[in-house]
Amino acid sequence: MRLNSATSIILAVIFQLLFAITGKGQSIDTAKVTLGLKNESLSTAIKKIEQQSSFRFFYRDADIRPFSHLNLVPGTRTVKQTLEFLLQNTSLSFRQIEGNILLKRKGRQASYEIKGRVLKGLDKEPMSNASVFLSNTTIGNKTAGDGAFTLREVKPGKYILVTSIVGFETYSQTITVSDANITLPDIEPFPATIVLDEVSIHPKTTANWERNYNWFKDEFLGRSEIAKECKILNPDVLDLDYDETKSSLTASSSDFLDIENEALGYKIKYLLTNFTLVNRLSANYYLDYRGAVFFEEMIGTPAQEKHWQKRRYQVYEGSIMHFLRSAINNRIDEEGFRIQQFSIYSNPDRPSDSLINAKIKKFKLLNNARPDSLALWVKKSKLPKTFQTLMPFTLNEQDIIKTTKQPGQYSFGCENDGLYIAYSKTHHYHINYQLKYLDNSGNTENTLINFNAPCAFFNSSGVISNPNSLLFYGACAKKRVAELLPADYETPESEGRLLFFLR
C-alpha cells in the first residue's frame, strides 16, 4: 500500500509515543551487558541484551534475518559498544529513543568533496577546461580559469582520478575517500610526446579496417539487445591492428571514445588504453580491455527516464556489482544468489613432471628395459594434472568476503578455488548440469569465477579494484561496455515502504 506524506507523519508520531511509554533513565553509553557470540544470529544477540538490560528493541524481521553468523569475543561492554561491534559490517544502524533501541537500514551514505588544481607541468600556468573525473562513475567536472576543480557527492571508497585535456598526457592517480573531504596536491600534466618512428598508419577506409572495426564493436560493446542500441560516435580515434600470425586484434584510442547508450540513458567517454582479442573463433579465445571511463546521464522525457531506470535495474540484477553489494550486506540468499565452491585439486595418481620425465628417459636408455615399464610412465604423463569438481554444498558471505584495514574495502576469494554463482529471483536454480550450462546461449544467470590471485579487492559500491585477478565464464563473461553501470549507480527506492514495523 502506498502511503502519503501525512500518513507517514502520523505513523512516526505514534511510534514516538509508543517508544516513550516504556522505561526511561538508562543510556546505551553507560548501561553494560556481558555478551559473547560464536556463529549466532543477530536475533539471539538482541534477546541476550534485552535479558540483561531494561532496553526493548524495535526492528523489521526482514532487516535482521540475514545476519545469522555473527561472532563476538566474550566480554563486558556498554550496550553502545556491543551494538557497534555487532553491526559494524552490516547495513543496519541503531539509535536510542528513551528506553528503546531502534534498528533500521542505514540511510543515504555520507559523501565528501575532492578539490584540487590542474597546472601545466612546464610553466605551472593554470589549465582551464581540463576534464577531471573519477573513473567508472558519473562524478566529474571541468577546471575553471584558475585550474581549480571540485568533485562533489563522492562516497567512501577507492577510486582512480583521471585528468585529461587535448595535447597533454592523461594523468591518473588512485584516491581513497574515507571520512573527510580531500584537497589534492597540484596536478601537473606535461605535453604529450609523439615518437614518430613508432607511428603506424592504418587507413580507415579499407575493407580490413571495416572488418577489424566490426570485430572490435562486437567484443567491446557486446552482442546483446542493449548493445544494439549503443553507438560509437567517433570511431576515427581508434587505432586497430590485426596480426595474422597470432590471430590477434589489438586496439587503443588517441582520445576518448564517445559512446551513446540509448538503452540505458548514458553518454560514455571511454579512454581505451588496451584492447586485445585473440583467436576469436577458437577454443583459445581471450579478451582483455582496459581504460578510464566516465558516465554522463542523458536528459529525457519523464517516460524515457522511467524506461532507462527500468533497463538499468534489469542490467544490475544478477550482475557482479549486485552480487558483491549483497555479500557485504549479508543478503546473498535474500537477493537471489547461491554460491558453490569450484574445487581445483591435484590428481593424486599423477606423479610430478620431473619424476615422469626422469623415468621415461631412464627406460628409453636401458636396452634391456621391459617395454611395459616405459609404456606405464608414458601413460602417466597423459593423465590430467588437476581435477575440477563443483562441490554440492553452498557457501555464505563469511566464507568468501573479508574486511580489510582500509575503510570501505573488502577482499573476495575462496582459498584459490573458483566460485560458481547462480542467480534466480525465485530461487529456482539449475542443479544437475551447472558446468555444462555455462556456455549455453540461454545462460543469463550462472557465472563461474576463477582467481588469478589469492583474492580480489572491491569497494562498498561493488566495484573490483584489481580486475585482472579474476576470470569470468558464463553469464557475466558475456557482458560488455553496453551493460556497464557506473560505480555510483543506485537502485530505485521502494515506494511506500515503512522504515520499520513493531515486532
Q: At what angle do helices 42-52 and 79-87 cross, to 10 degrees?
A: 180
DSSP, residue by residue, 410-426:
EEE--TT-EEEEEE-TT
Q: What is the pLDDT of residues 255-301, one digit of tens each?
A: 899 999 999 999 999 999 999 999 766 557 788 898 999 999 999 99
The three-class DSSP label of residue 291 is strand
The residues of the chain scoring below 70 in pLDDT are 1-25, 89, 106-109, 194-206, 280-283, 367-369, 430-433, 493-503
Copy the grid coordinates of residue 456: 580480489
pLDDT, tens only, 93-140: 888 887 889 888 765 567 899 999 999 988 999 999 999 999 999 999
Among candidate residues 329, 312, 236, 255, the one with its CA nearest the CA of residue 482: 312
The Cα 35–Cα 82 span in angstroms is 8
The pLDDT of residue 281 is 62
Q: How far apart, in whole angstroms, are the C-alpha atoms of residue 465 and residue 406?
A: 13
Q: Is the separation of the CB atoms in 138 and 296 below 8 Å? A: yes
- What grid cell was written down for 97? 529513543
List, in order, residues 6 or more apart from 319 with CB less than 8 Å away: 476, 479, 483, 485
- pLDDT score for 166: 83
Residue 121, judged by CB atoms within 10 A of its CB (0-12, 13-18, 19+), counts as middle
Q: Take residue 228 and report the three cell numbers written for it.
A: 544494439
Query: 457, 284 in Cβ contact below 8 A?
Result: no
In 3D space, the residue among 239, 237, 230, 299 whose CA is nearest the CA of residue 259 turns out to be 230
CA-to-CA dists, residue 472 to 40, 80, 286, 321, 479, angstroms: 33, 42, 11, 14, 10
**Residue 146: phi, psi to the nearest 5?**
-95, 10
CA 196, CA 194: separation in Å to the nearest integer? 6
User: Residue 367: phi, psi to the nearest 5?
Assistant: -70, -35
For residue 17, what pLDDT is reported?
44
pTM of the model: 0.70
What was the pLDDT predicted at 266? 97
Domains of the chain: 5-105 (3.55.50.30), 112-183 (2.60.40.1120)
Q: What confidence score (pLDDT) does residue 269 get? A: 95
Write out the H or E segment, with its range, that includes residue 304: helix 302-316
Alpha-carbon span 447 to 430, nearest angstrom: 12
d(CA 228, CA 152): 33
Q: How far apart are CA 104 and CA 87, in angstroms?
A: 11
Residue type, 100: N
CB atoms within 10 A of CB 138: 16
